[in-house]
Amino acid sequence: MDLVEKKCISCEGYGSSMSDEEALTYIKKVKNWSIANNRIEKNFKFKNFLAAMKFVNSVASLAEQEGHHPDIHLYGWNKVKIITFTHALNGLTENDFILAAKIDEINLENRRP
């Protein structure tokens, strides 16, 4: 099943975080995310401040729907960095990759490469 078709499950559903090998398999399933310190992260750039804020709000809404919340950093005036990991386990679970895949599906016309 494709990650975007899945739903995040409660953190209590995981006994432990992923192994490094599992994380390396999952990172291939998301677009341009990187692994750093048991977290996955990605930077996004927008044409203007309002577009960046629209994206932040879209990610916040998605996170609430999924019950899985990333760290969101707005910096500069048009850049957003998303960092996600399973806080309760201080590591990565499938939830992080599900959320990353769904964030990549957010269609915003003002996103820059």
What's this model's pTM, rounded to 2 decimal places? 0.92
**Does 7 reside within a domain?**
no
**Does 23 reside within a domain?**
no
- The domain total for the chain is 1
**Does 34 reside within a domain?**
no
**Does 85 reside within a domain?**
yes
**Does 49 reside within a domain?**
yes
The residue range of the domain holding 78 is 41-113
Q: What is the pLDDT of residue 1?
A: 72
Segment 11-46, tens digit of pLDDT: 776 789 999 999 999 999 999 999 999 999 999 999
**Does 32 reside within a domain?**
no
Q: Report the C-alpha gap between 22 and 25 in whole angstroms.
A: 5
CATH of residue 97's domain is 3.30.1360.20
| pLDDT, mean of residues 76-104 | 96
CB 9 within 8 A of CB 95: yes
Segment 58-75, tens digit of pLDDT: 999 999 999 999 999 999
Amino acid occupying residue 6: K
